[in-house]
Amino acid sequence: MAETQSNGHGYVGTRTIRPDGVDKVTGRARFGADFNLPGQLIGRVLRSPHPHARIVAIDTSKAEALPGVKAVITRDDFADQPSEFIPAGEMMMNYKDVVRNVMAREKALYEGHAVAAVAATSAAIAKRALKLIDVTYEVLPHVIDVVEAMRPDAPVLHDDLFTAGVEPKPDKPSNIAKRVEIVLGDIEAGFAKADVVVEREFKTAPVHQGYIEPHAALATVSEDGSAELWCCTQGHFIVRAHCARLLGLDIARIRVTASEIGGGFGGKTVVYLEPLALALSRKAKRPVKMVMSREEVFKASGPTSGATVRVKMGATRDGKFVAGFAELKYQAGAFQGSPVQPGVMCAYAPYDMENVKVIGYDVVSNRPKVAAYRAPGAPISEFAVESVVDEIAKKLGLDPIELRMMNAAREGTKAAYGPKFGPIGLEETLNSIKKTEHWNTPLRKWQGRGVASGFWFNIGGETCVSLTVNEDGTVSLMAGTPDIGGLRASLAMIAADELSVEYDKVRPIIGDTGSLGFNFLTGGSRSAFSGSMAVVEAAKQIKADCCARACKLWDLKPEQVAWERDRVRPIGDVADKAKPMSIADFAKVAGKTGGPIVGYGRLNAQGAGPSLGTHLVDLEVDPETGRVTILRYTVAQDAGRAIHPAYVEGQFQGGAVQGIGWALNEEYVYGADGKLQNAGFLDYRMPVASDVPMIDAILVEVANPKHPYGVRGVGETPIVPPLGAIANAMENATGIRFTELPMSPPKVLKALKEQGVTAK
């Protein structure tokens, strides 16, 4: 069989209506909390009021005796797990910690840590039952701040935590879980060549992913141990794996269906309620539904790290970066596993530098265990570096875009973290920003303009999809990665183009864990990248199968038949021997040519191309109140190839606005008592519509050669540049270099007063 690339109707690159759209604008789409089962119980979690306490005893007898209570679970309902690190996408995980995070064992390690859970016939009874659980705590001293947690006299969270990555191995446990380091070249030699050196320390606050949908799970476990689970997650195969492990069930016994997901941004890549709902249902022998309150989401699900970062960079007089050093201290929360590793790797990734050294520390403290948040770790370290880059530009009297251009990583650049880059689009994004009308518009007093670039790796990973040609020629597409923002549309467009069928004739669904092979989760900007590769693979199988069927029907040899453009055709000498057949034609004769026509794309996707972007922001500072208003914002980012440009723009815009929140307002505020003081949307202030302007999006397309359509992941990079861009604009507006996030009104006002920069 011969094969030529088909591009069918050319849907890729157009703005189709998403297949799941009507359900989402009519209220029909079912999200995590929208599922119910007959006879279901309501589950609720008892959470620690203390940031750090030994759990001496838990007496559940009174709660169990309350009429309507059907099950109570505690640490005793979960077998302990051995300590063993296993790769989990962009991060590592350890089931010894996971089992302790879903249900406290020896100690409660943060305010909000789950201590027990109940299932009852109503929410009111469940709530009453929680009050009847008697927990004896021995309250321990706590530590919240990352620098304090690193001190030798700090309260130690884990007696068995010895800093990894240092020689000799420490003889005492501490809160420093590990030290990581990357080195390229020789920074001492590099700094010796520098004409200008800038060194600064930065601080960022922990911020929450802020998805609008709280975590929710509905579980039912039958008497024979088979379990079904509906939940909102970024990866139902991962949920299945974690729950099987924590509950001691065979993987084949658990079927997980991902509901529609109301935002995740990395925060729904781990389990919280799911194993509890299953354990309660196993005990009660009835379905159990659990939904977190917003307060629980803030207190007990992962924010990302706050951090302290020191950056020192050197450059020559003409602007060449000759050395970069950084030291990153990231909060991990109560268990190790902050995103400090990717933070270390990304810090200098946008630049072509010969001498780089970055050291990172992963530090535990009495806060909720951090979870991934969009380009985990990168916004923090790149904020610090981009701030220093801006300062170097100012010292040297260079245009900040020109300075970045001069040092930009490009194809062939060896990154400090290891690889040599293939084609990447940083220069193109800088160029397109420079050409905007935005860049060339004058500003007024108290207004400032800032620019910053950003880098994220992107990943591929295990992916499996099926394509089924139905009897009427329509196509059913099944993917196994939850659709968090337009995945179905993207995959349907690829399938339609590959098989030359109309877009509306392809119906994509997200299959449950019993319907497909293993899929890694929606994260790492991988789902459209890897999913489309799998769709291409599945379509290839279908086209090959149809060619084989045509050989039989037409009595021709394999080399006399090929898929060309939009259908199977006889080729060469026999080109007029038979009428070419489309996918719909084969559908009609599927039965008599070998049965169902199905393609199964399965792969461990490799070759995810990094995506780089540059952001440009104008803002205005109110010297009376310290409030900062974002006036104008432009994003330029390399998408490789935008399958659906509107959803790619949406990723750029949404990431930018999350970054604006991170830079200006969002933070976890703790009291001296170690308790979170702003566990609600009123006090944890995310950007609302009136806080932000339109976000101009420029799609740069430098094709990724490792993907059949040139696609790169786009979802994470957009949150990387805003922090630096806004800090740089603040410096431009006020002359003050802000090194601490968020740049909230009280901090801005204080800085203006201290620096004597006041309203005239």
Cα–Cα distance, 244 to 525 (Å, whole number) = 26
Taking CB under 8 A as the criterion, the residue among 172, 690, 746, 756 binding another protein is 690
Spatial neighbors of 733 by CB under 8 A, at least 6 apart, are 446, 447, 448, 619, 620, 621
Is 654 a binding residue for another protein by CB under 8 A? The answer is: yes
Binding segment toward another protein, per CB under 8 A, in 2-10, 159-167, 287-295, 396-404: 287-295
Cα–Cα distance, 394 to 656 (Å, whole number) = 25
Minimum distance from residue 8 beta carbon to another protein (Å): 22
Binding segment toward another protein, per CB under 8 A, in 364-372, 542-550, 578-586, 646-654: 646-654
Phi, psi angle pair for 215, to nearest 5°? -60, 145
Nearest to 197 by CA among 321, 109, 345: 321
Cβ of 91: how many Cβ atoms within 10 Å? Answer: 21
Is 694 a binding residue for another protein by CB under 8 A? The answer is: yes
Is 680 a binding residue for another protein by CB under 8 A? The answer is: yes
Is 440 a binding residue for another protein by CB under 8 A? The answer is: no
Nearest to 613 by CA among 456, 486, 380: 456
210 vs 599, beta carbon nearer another protein: 210
Q: For residue 701, what are the CA distances in angstroms to 122, 422, 575, 678, 709?
A: 54, 14, 38, 41, 11
- Give me the sheet containing 561-564, strands edge to edge: 2-3, 561-564, 567-570
Taking CB under 8 A as the criterion, the residue among 261, 409, 556, 590 binding another protein is 261
Q: Which two tokens stand for residue 705?
A: 């050669």
265 vs 348, beta carbon nearer another protein: 265
185 vs 263, beta carbon nearer another protein: 263
Q: With contacts defined by CB under 8 A, how many residues of the chain interact with another protein?
A: 59
Taking CB under 8 A as the criterion, the residue among 193, 283, 294, 438 binding another protein is 294
Binding segment toward another protein, per CB under 8 A, in 309-317, 590-598, 686-694, 725-733: 686-694
Taking CB under 8 A as the criterion, the residue among 518, 574, 681, 736 binding another protein is 681
Taking CB under 8 A as the criterion, the residue among 11, 137, 202, 265 binding another protein is 265
Spatial neighbors of 633 by CB under 8 A, at least 6 apart, are 615, 616, 617, 618, 656, 660, 692, 693, 694, 695, 696
361 vs 647, beta carbon nearer another protein: 647
Element (H, E) at 635: strand 628-638
Minimum distance from residue 718 beta carbon to another protein (Å): 9
- Please, which of residues 486-505 interact with another protein by CB under 8 A? 486
Binding segment toward another protein, per CB under 8 A, in 329-337, 363-371, 663-671, 688-696: 688-696
Going 539 to 540 to 542 to 546, the CA torsion angle's sign is positive
Cα–Cα distance, 128 to 47 (Å, whole number) = 14
From residue 160 to residue 199, the character string flagging contacts with another protein as x (rule: CB under 8 A) and all else as - is: ----------------------------------------
Minimum distance from residue 197 beta carbon to another protein (Å): 37
Cα–Cα distance, 185 to 194 (Å, whole number) = 15
Alpha-helical regions (H) of 573-635: 583-588
Minimum distance from residue 283 beta carbon to another protein (Å): 24
Cα–Cα distance, 308 to 597 (Å, whole number) = 56
Q: Which two tokens stand for residue 541?
A: 């199988």
Is 646 a binding residue for another protein by CB under 8 A? The answer is: yes
Cβ of 5: how many Cβ atoms within 10 Å? Answer: 11
Taking CB under 8 A as the criterion, the residue among 163, 175, 305, 658 binding another protein is 658
Q: Which two tokens stand for residue 426?
A: 């940083």
Taking CB under 8 A as the criterion, the residue among 3, 5, 10, 24 binding another protein is 24
Is 650 a binding residue for another protein by CB under 8 A? The answer is: yes
Is 669 a binding residue for another protein by CB under 8 A? The answer is: no
Minimum distance from residue 377 beta carbon to another protein (Å): 20
Cβ–Cβ under 8 Å, residues 357 and 183: yes
318 vs 437, beta carbon nearer another protein: 437
Is 17 a binding residue for another protein by CB under 8 A? The answer is: yes
Cα–Cα distance, 251 to 495 (Å, whole number) = 30
Taking CB under 8 A as the criterion, the residue among 686, 703, 749, 757 binding another protein is 686
Cα–Cα distance, 49 to 265 (Å, whole number) = 27
Nearest to 533 by CA among 596, 462, 476, 582: 462
Is 725 a binding residue for another protein by CB under 8 A? The answer is: no
Taking CB under 8 A as the criterion, the residue among 25, 56, 57, 672 binding another protein is 25
Going 695 to 700 to 706 to 710, the CA torsion angle's sign is positive
Distance of CA 194 to the CA centre of its chain: 37
**Distance between terminal CA atoms of the chain?**
78
27 vs 756, beta carbon nearer another protein: 27
Minimum distance from residue 551 beta carbon to another protein (Å): 43
Q: For residue 62, what are the CA distances in angstroms to 56, 58, 68, 129, 272?
A: 18, 11, 12, 8, 25
Phi, psi angle pair for 369, to nearest 5°? -60, 125
Taking CB under 8 A as the criterion, the residue among 78, 202, 211, 330 binding another protein is 211
Taking CB under 8 A as the criterion, the residue among 86, 183, 688, 759 binding another protein is 688
Is 549 a binding residue for another protein by CB under 8 A? The answer is: no
Taking CB under 8 A as the criterion, the residue among 278, 581, 657, 714 binding another protein is 657
275 vs 654, beta carbon nearer another protein: 654
Minimum distance from residue 175 beta carbon to another protein (Å): 31
Is 695 a binding residue for another protein by CB under 8 A? The answer is: yes
- Please, which of residues 101-140 interact with another protein by CB under 8 A? 124
Taking CB under 8 A as the criterion, the residue among 51, 214, 710, 742 binding another protein is 214
Cβ–Cβ under 8 Å, residues 709 and 531: no
Is 656 a binding residue for another protein by CB under 8 A? The answer is: yes
From residue 369 to residue 408, the character string flagging contacts with another protein as x (rule: CB under 8 A) and all else as - is: ----------------------------------------
- Please, which of residues 26-65 interact with another protein by CB under 8 A? 26-31, 33-34
Minimum distance from residue 131 beta carbon to another protein (Å): 16
Cα–Cα distance, 184 to 324 (Å, whole number) = 10
653 vs 734, beta carbon nearer another protein: 653
DSSP letters of 353-371?
-S-EEEEEEEEE-SSPPP-
- Which residues of this protein are in contact with another protein, per CB under 8 A? 15, 17-18, 20-22, 24-31, 33-34, 124, 209-214, 260-265, 291, 293-294, 484-486, 644, 646-647, 649-651, 653-658, 680-682, 686-692, 694-695
